[in-house]
A and B are shown apart, each in its own frame.
Chain A
């Protein structure tokens, strides 16, 4: 009964989405409040039903109901409870259900929190959301239905792919989807604005929190996924320029551009057409990402779904939404009014440069992702575009961007004083140069570019600090005033300081890890000692252990540094009987921001084992950076200005009266 109820709830959600796609639009055309308000209640009901459907699937996985094909194929009665739950979205059907659940969640949130929106705008936004939802409900029901049953249920399931049986799966896909799908809101707002033919600074302020939420989750999702790959795949790589990674990076780049251009629109009523276009493009790239991952069109370690009918269906959705929205944009963009003026050297100008570099970088990634596909299709040969390509293209563009980052927030709106800003950034620049000199003198080996890049990272961080010091009058004014000012500083300003500093932090981590990573690979016997980056790693022995649904060979290493014993590290190799496959569980020892990383290879007959030991200096900065960025985003999100009218509807109403 749970299975069929979940299935029926999903069908009901489709029915409601279809009504929500049409009725509110008619209402908006006729200015009928009741018809427009249908969108609100149907969006909430959709959330209820899709939520029920999702909970039903989770329950089925938890109780191991193998009469449901999806559970049979991806679960096992002996799997730990956590992986029974996360296994729900560790497969194609379940992950698509998670996708629409999050879509419904965002729709429900707009319906519930959108009291500050004009009624017709909200009706339009929710109707567009319902279009997207309808398309994906249909996709799930027709091609990827997780509730299909098996008449004669087998007694045991086929288990989840062991690589996915990890805590990373609990966090990474939901985060990533919250990001991907969150951008559907700014897309819907853009389409709504185009349909209404009205767009202004207020629009940007209404969209901003939604874009921010999506951006925060996408940032964390990408960082989380990267860390997961780092420790789970067992060779210490954290970014592979894999098409699936690119698919999440592209919406991030476009979304970051959107955040900044919406800022210009909110403050200065300029860049309106561009912002609308970016909203459309960002979500289109999210859809493209879904297509690339879900259709299995690209060779990739992530592609656990491969089925041409699905691919064609998603491609249709993709063409419909991207093509439709861009046509609407082309038709309506001309009628949108132009906004405020600004000089090229100004905060607006800096943000335009930011947008330019981000979108061009995004285009480069898009090119690198699609070029091999196009070549295969047109010229019939296969090739891959990997890290060397991106190092030569993406890296220089991002370097330019990072150089410009400290300048942007310090320029004034409308007309800025570049010379003045440069003078104020002098200290940050000097800090960067000093670091370059120190690093140059201190280290040996590695690329000559590395110290420069680290200096750039320091410059970005110091630049963010300078901005903060300037705004609060630190060192110029009495400390009490500074404190007072710091308290009065809008949280969004704090947010941008943290986000920009996060960029610098991540850059330093990336450079240190790639340049001074030391590696030791060998076959080790008991009591052998490996010397890696000043650490002595001694193999104490090998042990066997029985896990819930796997057997495990654990190697115990004693790690010491300059004679002082630090810790025991126990990497392991698990073999899963049901699927007859194995995974490598790396062991990590964190020292400050650096890590020692041990993973195992095959054991030989004589009791020796292949071992890979890495010392990765400052590697954790790679993920602390994005976490810092996301924290900045959250600060910005909590800014009271973004919640204008929302929590105090009564006051908003009172204020409205004189205007009406």
Chain B
């Protein structure tokens, strides 16, 4: 209510600013005119002359010139007495009394939030305790850490919360600090790695991989590190490697480990073959146990599917390398050479991929 009262007072003040001069009649105000300026210029010449700053002839010439302007200005002074037009004054008064409030309310209402109270820092500090959200607690811990940046325990508390809140970049920083002030541990390393890959949108980047590897160096059986290293292998296209890591992880895991189902489903994803033909060395090797005809049919089918897919989307360097390798395994060197030429053309516009491809081909013995 107070707010509206203040608004009303302000509006009245604004209206008065328009109405007051309208109420005054006649020539209450002083006003200047050109004549005053020219007269001043004339006295200035006298002054300069007296001070010896200008010579008499110059002064005379200037005096004539200014006098001419003075006469002209005096002639053009508004001869007519000021009029007062009551009709227009009333219109202006109405404009102020009605138009001004209408405009201000019309503009303010859609933009303003008159119901919202102020929320200054002092008030917030008083009102703490109840209604604390997780975010606000985080802020308090952050403020504490701002002052005591070496408090390792604080970072330890903060980091997982930030991770859960989805503030991955900050979580990475918090885990780093936690490592600095609490010392090395496999868990902290792998937590950091997890945060790094979360920040990268779930991709186990090289940076994240380093952290997991460090974690594994401390504790070879750290489950999180092993899981993510498997994931890294999968994302690099080495599904067999991923499967191996995860299989080893499951073998060592206690039967009631809460993460068992996650690893199992991941293993099924790489082992059970997804929708994308996974032409890993393992499958090719496995197919060697089949009889000749079956094996050829299976391998050729898979290779053809892969070739078709790569024709549609040629950016998959790993795919190209697998295809070339498959041709080589099948003993079809010409096709392998053809495929590598196709691959080079498909990724030619991308220097990074081209380099990756060339390196891959080199290891397959298809140089240049």
Asked if A and B form a direct contact in the complex, defined as CB atoms under 8 angstroms apart, the reply is: yes
Residues of A in contact, count (CB < 8 Å): 95
Task: A115 to B51: give the CA distance in the assembly, Å.
Answer: 30
A-contact bits for B206-228, CB 8 A (1 contact / 0 none) = 00000000000000000000000
Q: Which residues of A contact B32 (CB under 8 A)?
A: 115-118, 206, 645-646, 652
- Shortest Cβ distance from A325 into chain B, in angstroms? 23
Cβ contact of A1, chosen from B3, B92, B135, cutoff 8 A = B3
Cβ contact of A14, chosen from B78, B103, B136, cutoff 8 A = B103
Residues of B in contact, count (CB < 8 Å): 88
- Shortest Cβ distance from B239 into chain A, in angstroms? 37
- Shortest Cβ distance from B46 into chain A, in angstroms? 12
Indicate if the CB atoms of B20 and A31 lie closer than 8 Å: no
Cβ contact of A16, chosen from B14, B83, B107, B143, cutoff 8 A = B14
Task: A652 to B37: give the CA distance in the assembly, Å.
Answer: 10
Answer yes or no: A65 CB below 8 A from chain B CBs: yes
Task: A8 to B121: give the CA distance in the assembly, Å.
Answer: 23
Interface-forming stretch among A143-151, A316-324, A566-574? A143-151
Answer yes or no: A401 CB below 8 A from chain B CBs: no
Answer yes or no: B252 CB below 8 A from chain A CBs: no
Interface-forming stretch among B94-102, B193-201, B312-320, B343-351? B94-102
Indicate if the CB atoms of B29 and A115 lie closer than 8 Å: yes
Q: Which residues of A contact B51 (CB under 8 A)?
A: 484-485, 488-489
Answer yes or no: A35 CB below 8 A from chain B CBs: yes
A-contact bits for B1-29, CB 8 A (1 contact / 0 none) = 01100110011011001101111111111
CB within 8 Å for A202 and B37 given contacts A8-B7, A41-B20, A118-B32: yes
Task: A202 to B53: give the CA distance in the assembly, Å.
Answer: 23
Indicate if the CB atoms of A205 and B37 lie closer than 8 Å: yes
CB within 8 Å for A63 and B73 given contacts A15-B104, A38-B21, A44-B17: no
Indicate if the CB atoms of A1 and B22 lie closer than 8 Å: no
Indicate if the CB atoms of B37 and A644 lie closer than 8 Å: yes
Indicate if the CB atoms of A117 and B118 lie closer than 8 Å: no
Cβ contact of A34, chosen from B2, B89, B122, B173, cutoff 8 A = B89
Q: Which residues of A contact B103 (CB under 8 A)?
A: 11, 14-15, 18
Interface-forming stretch among A152-160, A218-226, A431-439, A616-624? A152-160
- In this complex, the member of A16, A26, A154, A551 whose beta carbon has the largest number of chain B beta carbons within 10 angstroms is A16
- Shortest Cβ distance from B208 into chain A, in angstroms? 19
Answer yes or no: A23 CB below 8 A from chain B CBs: yes
- Shortest Cβ distance from A217 into chain B, in angstroms? 25
CB within 8 Å for A32 and B85 given contacts A645-B37, A652-B32: yes
Cβ contact of A645, chosen from B22, B27, B36, cutoff 8 A = B36
Q: Which residues of A contact B104 (CB under 8 A)?
A: 8, 11-12, 14-15
Q: Which residues of B contact A481 (CB under 8 A)?
A: 52
Q: Which residues of A contact B100 (CB under 8 A)?
A: 12, 15-16, 19
Contacts across chains A and B counted by CB atoms under 8 Å = 251
Indicate if the CB atoms of B85 and A659 lie closer than 8 Å: no
Indicate if the CB atoms of A645 and B14 lie closer than 8 Å: no
Indicate if the CB atoms of A23 and B95 lie closer than 8 Å: yes
CB within 8 Å for A12 and B44 given contacts A31-B80, A149-B113: no
Answer yes or no: A610 CB below 8 A from chain B CBs: no
Indicate if the CB atoms of B119 and A67 lie closer than 8 Å: yes
Q: What does DSSP make chain A's interface, helix, strand, loop or mixed?
A: helix
A-contact bits for B70-109, CB 8 A (1 contact / 0 none) = 0011101110101111001100100110011001100110
Q: 7 new A-B pairs (CB below 8 Å) besides A118-B34, A269-B69? A: A19-B95, A60-B120, A63-B121, A148-B113, A155-B140, A156-B142, A201-B69
Q: Which 7 A-B residue pairings sit nearest by Cβ, starting from the closest?
A: A488-B51, A116-B32, A45-B17, A63-B120, A202-B34, A67-B119, A37-B21
A interface list, Cβ under 8 A from B: 1-5, 7-9, 11-12, 14-16, 18-19, 22-23, 26-27, 30-35, 37-38, 40-42, 44-45, 48-49, 60, 63-67, 77-78, 115-120, 122, 141, 145, 147-149, 151, 153-156, 198, 200-202, 205-206, 268-269, 340, 412, 414, 471, 473, 481, 484-485, 488-490, 546, 549, 551, 577, 580, 641, 644-646, 649-650, 652-653, 655-656, 659-660
8 contacts between A and B (CB under 8 A): A1-B6, A1-B118, A16-B17, A23-B92, A65-B121, A67-B119, A115-B29, A147-B111
B interface list, Cβ under 8 A from A: 2-3, 6-7, 10-11, 13-14, 17-18, 20-41, 44, 47-48, 51-53, 58, 61, 65, 69, 72-74, 76-78, 80, 82-85, 88-89, 92, 95-96, 99-100, 103-104, 107-108, 111-114, 116-122, 124, 135-136, 139-140, 142-143, 146-147, 149, 169-170, 173
